[in-house]
């Protein structure tokens, strides 16, 4: 079953506007396919990245950026390709775009790299952010983990969180605690 929910984002650089979010209801759903979805409400634009970040996600994201001037990128997904995510995140930061993780959704692994790149980071109630070390062909990848650690540090993620990410095996996931989310300065949305 699919329903529409609304999320209000308030902030110094964002005027109050309504973002329409598709939320999927039901336990045990399969992960969404790699997707990039642009939505508009009134005159405000957002880009939505959902599902697995796969080959070509960065190019589709750049195509959307050429067509629109979004103030927000909404994310939700299990992760995917680290380099694609870091290229998307670098562009988000370069352009000063904010990121939103809607309530009752999760953003893990490569998705978290995108989310944490936001100029401002908004998070809905009961939303989860997960990190782990990098993998290459199903095996832990020390050089990939080092690259992710440098990237996250450059995005202002505290070293204590980066160290915990690096210590979490790629086969696992470490969900950030409420205290860690506060340390990151996430803007809580009700």
- pLDDT tens profile 84-141: 999 999 999 999 999 999 999 999 999 999 999 999 999 999 999 999 999 999 899 9
pLDDT score of 27: 25
pLDDT score of 34: 54
Specify the DSSP element, H or E, that contains 187. strand 187-188
Q: How far apart are CA 155 and CA 162, in angstroms?
A: 11
Tokens 């990237």 belong to which residue?
151
Nearest 5°: CA angle at 100, between 44 and 107?
A: 145
- Name 177's Cβ contacts closer than 8 Å, sequence gap at least 6: none
CB 116 within 8 A of CB 89: yes
DSSP structural state of residue 33: P
According to CATH, the topology of domain 2-24+32-188 is: 2-enoyl-CoA Hydratase; Chain A, domain 1 (3.90.226)
Mean pLDDT of 20-47: 44
Phi and psi, residue 25, nearest 5°: -110, 135
In this predicted structure, the answer to whether residue 35 has a pLDDT above a threshold of 80 is no
CA atoms within 13 A on the CB side of 20: 10
Choose between 10 and 85: higher pLDDT: 85
Specify the DSSP element, H or E, that contains 40. strand 35-41
SS3 percent helix, strand, coil of the chain, rounded to 5, is 30, 35, 35
Q: How far apart are CA 12 and CA 16, in angstroms?
A: 10
pLDDT score of 68: 87
> How large a percentage of the chain has pLDDT more than 90?
72
pLDDT score of 58: 97
């Amino acid at each position: 079953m699919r329903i529409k929910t609304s999320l209000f984002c308030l902030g110094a650089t964002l005027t109050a506007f309504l973002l329409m979010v598709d939320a999927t209801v039901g336990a045990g759903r399969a992960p969404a396919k790699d997707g990039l979805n642009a939505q508009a409400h009134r005159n405000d634009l957002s880009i939505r990245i959902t599902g697995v970040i796969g080959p070509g996600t960065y190019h589709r994201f750049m195509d959307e950026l050429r067509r629109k001037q979004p103030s927000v990128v909404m994310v939700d997904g299990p992760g995917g390709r680290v380099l694609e995510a870091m290229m998307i995140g670098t562009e988000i930061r370069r352009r000063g775009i904010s990121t939103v993780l809607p309530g009752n959704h999760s953003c893990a692994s490569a998705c978290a790299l995108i989310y944490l790149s936001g100029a401002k980071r908004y998070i809905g109630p009961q939303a989860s952010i997960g990190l782990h070390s990098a993998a290459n062909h199903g095996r832990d990848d020390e050089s990939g983990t080092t690259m992710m650690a440098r990237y996250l540090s450059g995005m202002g993620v505290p070293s204590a969180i980066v160290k915990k990410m690096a210590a979490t095996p790629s086969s696992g996931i470490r969900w950030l605690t409420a205290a860690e989310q506060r340390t990151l300065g996430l803007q809580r949305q009700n």
